[in-house]
Amino acid sequence: MCGIAGFFNPFEHYSDSSLHYNDILNRMNLVQKHRGPDDDGTYLSDTFAFAHVRLSIIDLSGGHQPMTRTYYSSNYTIVYNGELYNTDELKSDLKAKGHTFQTTCDTEVILIGFIEYGPDFVKKLNGIFAFAIADERTNELYLFRDRFGIKPLYYTHMNDTVIFSSEIKGIFEHPFVKPQLDISGLNEIFSIGPAKTPGVGVFKNIDEVLPGYFCKCSKDGLTLHQYWKLEAHEHSDSLEETIEKTSYLVQDSIKRQMVSDIPICTFLSGGVDSSLVSAICSNELKKKNKQLATFSFDFVNNNRYFKSNHFQPSQDRPWVEKMVKFLDSNHIYLECDKLSLADKLTDSVNAHDLPAMADVDSSMLYFCSLVKQYNAVTLTGECADEIFGGYPWFHKEECFHANTFPWTMNLEPRKTLLKEDFIHELNMEEYVDAAYKNSIQETPRLEGENQTEVRRREISYLNIKWFMQTLLTRMDRCSMYSGLEARVPFADHRLVEYVFNVPWSMKFHNGVVKSLLRESAAGLLPEEILYRKKSPYPKTYDPGYESLLAKKLIEVIEEPSSPILQFIDKTKVYFFINTPSDYGLPWYGQLMAAPQLIAYMLMINYWLLKYDTKILI
């Protein structure tokens, strides 16, 4: 993968001050160098300024960016972050129309496809991507983002200038932009976080290109265009046909995403999702007499401290061992200790430019840094639960009927440490309710469906739009912080479009959670793996970790200059720290309970310090 950045003003003459503007571009590249350690470049014309850092995966020698092609005396330039999985089909079509190619990389295919078809060419792409194209014939900038927001793209529009970057930190390198936070941004952190309202950049005046959208920027301003959305359709396939088609789509997506000029690996937890991805990759590599590399994650002494609960019924290690034997993979067990876990909380903020999923995030960042020592491309099992209905809130009555986000049904735990006047000013309930209702209103529906089926569509849509986006963001930032490319084959738009419209009776056939995925994987996995009860991403249960966090938070609140003191109550903090923790009652998702609330507050304090953010309330 890569990092992109740049700026555009249709009324400017950047080339008249090239030293100044190239310096900005170089700084944008420098702060995102972790996303692309192998190469970098810049491009400057009168109205366009592009920067790019590259992680070389395809066409290692020929894929330098920014990439420019000239047609009929006009330049077209692209900076691109992503991977296409239908490059060969697209290239064949373009060759048939008379185009020639100088490289074998997908970047050139996108650029020439844009020249041939215009911005609608994005509809033909199967992949994960965020890219910018400068059309100097029309003096227009286009910003594109993939259908599920797997790859990030932030922007701001001020003083006729559009500034964009893969990560927010790149935008802050432009002198026009300063970190500011208003009441909406504070609600994103304290009321919604670690999720984020789609399209919102949290910092004031910073937005994110919405998944399935592109922006057109010209002398007439900036306009948003939706090129893809989920739709509701009648499902006419029989159960047998549905299983067969699902099996094809899953396997085709995984096989397509194995494309690479360097070796790939997989993350393996011993659950059905990662095991299926690993099994298909292993089978394909064995055809070439190659062995798959797999990695699993856990915490030091977790076998001693693990506490089984409703959300996390079992440890992964025994199941991983079964799969390693089944696959005959080259497996490496990775562990994280409590000190590294706590220390990496700040790195997680550095990676996201925002507070993130506490140690659920910092541990993934740590593990990705270790995997990168062996491989630069991995496939993961992310997104299967959102698509096939694996989470508890698809099944539990109180979650299913909750008139709010089912992964955060009670906002009271979020208020536990906050000052009363700040709680009043936030008005959490109103902010969350508005965000929830906006998503409910846009849920695709079919006429004639009963209320139960309507609600099932709503739950599915909320998961795809919100919860899946949070985990995709986590995977991108954690992996790219170490220059590791993580691919998510379950987020193939063809698969999501199909499964979204499959009736619940087929997804939950015979009362089995994720039965459609399990039945579509029959014969590819051992039966005990195929029907293993879901256990989410691991977290530490070491009481010493929570003690370590508590000590750090006390140090923060006893430091008078700590910015988080504007928002949290010291008395409440001491009471909370001295109260026994409940590891089984999360305040977000399935894993974020009391220790993670402490970690999240530490992240917020560090984040406010790092950016010297101006609070506008």
Residues of the binding site:
106
Q: Is residue 171 a contact partner of residue 177, using CB atoms and an 8 Å limit? A: yes
Catalytic residue status for 336: no
CA distance 179 to 616: 11
Q: Is the dihedral of CA 185, 189, 192, 197 positive or negative?
A: positive
Helix (H) / strand (E) element for 213: namely strand 213-218
Mapped onto helix, strand or coil, the DSSP state of residue 94 is helix
CA distance 515 to 242: 12
Identify residue 307 by its one-letter amino acid code: K
Mapped onto helix, strand or coil, the DSSP state of residue 335 is strand
DSSP state of 140: E
Strands laid side by side in the 485-487 sheet: 330-336, 293-299, 264-267, 377-379, 485-487
CA distance 262 to 155: 32
Q: Is residue 36 a contact partner of residue 55, using CB atoms and an 8 Å limit? A: yes
Q: Is residue 371 a contact partner of residue 484, using CB atoms and an 8 Å limit? A: yes
Alpha-helical segments (H) within 137-261: 168-171, 183-187, 239-256
Query: 463, exposed or middle or buried, with CB in 10 Å at 0-12, 13-18, 19+?
Result: buried
Q: Binding-site residues for L-glutamine, please?
A: 106
Mapped onto helix, strand or coil, the DSSP state of residue 173 is coil
Q: Which residues are catalytic?
A: 2
